[in-house]
Amino acid sequence: MKNISRRSFNTKLSKGLAGTAFLSSVGLGYGFSPEKEKKKLGIALVGLGGYSTGQLAPALQDTEHCYLAGIVTGTPAKEKLWVEQYNIPKKNVYNYENFDSIAKNKNIDIVYVVLPNSMHAEFSIRAAKAGKHVICEKPMAVSVKECDAIMNACNDAGVKLSVGYRMQSDPYTNEIKRMVKEKPFGDVHYVSSDAGYISRGNPDQWRLDHALSGGGALMNMGVYSIQSNIYGTGQNPISVAAQEFSSRPEYFKDTDETITAQMNFPDGVVGNLFTSHNANANRLFVSFEKGWAELNPCHSYGPLSGRTSEGKEIKFPHQSQQKLQMDDFAKHIMMGTINYAPGEMGKRDMIIVEAIYKSIKEGGKTISLDLGDMGIVRA
């Protein structure tokens, strides 16, 4: 980590993350057991904050192709709680200093990095060097340069890499992809995606600290809008222009609050992006030549909801997106199935993020993008 001690990180994390208490409904006795099927891959979670606690660990109790095998934490109290909650053997428990010794642990196949954004590159690279497959939570890193470093480390080590884009495994996402590909309403003309929430928590939380987050709403929620605009057109953008504004500058002192952006796609297709830490926004709208489709809510954990211009409801049985995501990656490793969120996709999105920040810095100037088919995965 740059300019951040591990002690200060743990202090910042404990002050800033909400919802780190364990959910009583999860129950006891889950996690590792000697009887786990050998066909299942063991996952170690690095960082035991709100997302690991409330989403990933519970999802790993229902996954078919992977399971919670280990943890990495710098907080002894969390270590004790997780060991008891999930029956994790002491040999599968690590801290940030002895993490590299995970290379010797045959029970752990995948390392899932769930740390603040500025730490993604360090621990993804260390995991790769330890010979473990890597899931890096979104955004992949705080710069394109760091994305390249992660990808190079995984390639050099011969391990697989995925970004924590849970929506790529969601059936609602894939239904929009199907419509774009099969064209029941004709070609796409316009797409718009909004992603945001109102932050009223502690102003010392790590997401509002640029040194830890690398940015504000755009780095957190904006990547969902970038993703859905791309799968909502089936193309990568060729240029972007952006604007930033804040209505609570006293709270958002170090990171962006609200950003809007306009994205140009091939064949004259137009895209609009909105992301904020000061507004609840959760929608994707795709306008076709002869109709439209909408997901609202679109980016949250679900259940999601959708409809079309024909009056038809888009509806699927609710499943944990994290369960689907981690099972998809495990199947990719074991069976050679498609990697729905490869490193190239994470790098592509960071190229767009950097272009948006550059446009804002240059007064809303249109920034050209040369992405080709980078990171586009068509199911």
Task: Tell me which residue of 46, 27, 28, 63 sits closest to 320, measured CA to CA.
Answer: 63
Residue 183 maps to a domain? yes
Same domain, 157 and 238: no
Higher pLDDT, 7 or 137: 137
pLDDT exceeds 90 at position 6: no
Residue 279 phi/psi, 5-degree rounding, is: -155, 140
Same domain, 106 and 77: yes
Side-by-side strand order, sheet with 270-276: 313-314, 306-308, 291-295, 278-288, 188-198, 270-276, 258-264, 239-245, 367-368
Residue 250 phi/psi, 5-degree rounding, is: -70, -25
Q: Of 119, 146, 164, which residue sits at a domain end?
A: 164
Task: Show the domain range for 100.
Answer: 6-164
26: CATH? 3.40.50.720
Same domain, 261 and 240: yes
For residue 297, whether the previous peptide bond is cis, meaning omega lies within 30 degrees of 0, is yes
Same domain, 61 and 20: yes
Structural domain count of the chain: 2
pLDDT exceeds 90 at position 5: no
**Predicted local distance difference test score (pLDDT) of residue 9:** 53
Residue 333 maps to a domain? no
**Predicted local distance difference test score (pLDDT) of residue 344:** 97
Q: Of 121, 138, 164, which residue sits at a domain end?
A: 164
Higher pLDDT, 83 or 379: 83
For residue 377, name the pLDDT band (cuts at 50, 70, 90). low
CA gap 227, 231 in Å, rounded:
6
Residue 112 maps to a domain? yes
**Predicted local distance difference test score (pLDDT) of residue 376:** 80
Task: Tell me which residue of 80, 207, 72 sits closest to 126, measured CA to CA.
Answer: 72
Average pLDDT of the chain, as a whole number: 91
Same domain, 173 and 116: no
For residue 25, name the pLDDT band (cuts at 50, 70, 90). very low
Q: Which residue type is seen at 218?
A: L
Residue 329 maps to a domain? no
Residue 222 maps to a domain? yes
**Predicted local distance difference test score (pLDDT) of residue 272:** 98
Same domain, 299 and 257: yes
Phi-psi category of residue 55: left, alpha or beta, with phi > 0 → left and psi -120 to 50 → alpha: alpha
Q: Where are the alpha helices (DSSP H) in 183-222?
A: 210-213, 217
Residue 115 maps to a domain? yes
Same domain, 141 and 36: yes
Residue 337 maps to a domain? no
Q: Of 164, 188, 216, which residue sits at a domain end?
A: 164
For CA atoms 215, 219, 225, 231, give the dihedral sign. positive
Same domain, 249 and 359: yes
Same domain, 239 and 154: no
pLDDT exceeds 50 at position 248: yes
For 50-108, the pLDDT digits (tens) are 999 999 999 999 999 999 999 999 999 999 999 999 999 999 999 999 999 999 999 99
**Predicted local distance difference test score (pLDDT) of residue 39:** 86
Residue 374 maps to a domain? no
262: CATH? 3.30.360.10
For strand 66-72 and strand 93-94, is the pairing parallel, antiparallel, or unpaired? Answer: parallel
**pTM check: above 0.85:** yes
Helix (H, G, I), strand (E, B) or coil at 312: coil
Same domain, 122 and 211: no
Percent of the chain with pLDDT over 70: 89
Same domain, 152 and 268: no
| Mean pLDDT, rounded, for 282-289 | 98
For residue 201, name the pLDDT band (cuts at 50, 70, 90). confident
**Predicted local distance difference test score (pLDDT) of residue 20:** 32
**Predicted local distance difference test score (pLDDT) of residue 156:** 98
Q: Which residue has the tokens 């280990």?
A: 70
pLDDT exceeds 90 at position 27: no
pLDDT exceeds 50 at position 228: yes
For residue 373, name the pLDDT band (cuts at 50, 70, 90). confident
Same domain, 175 and 298: yes
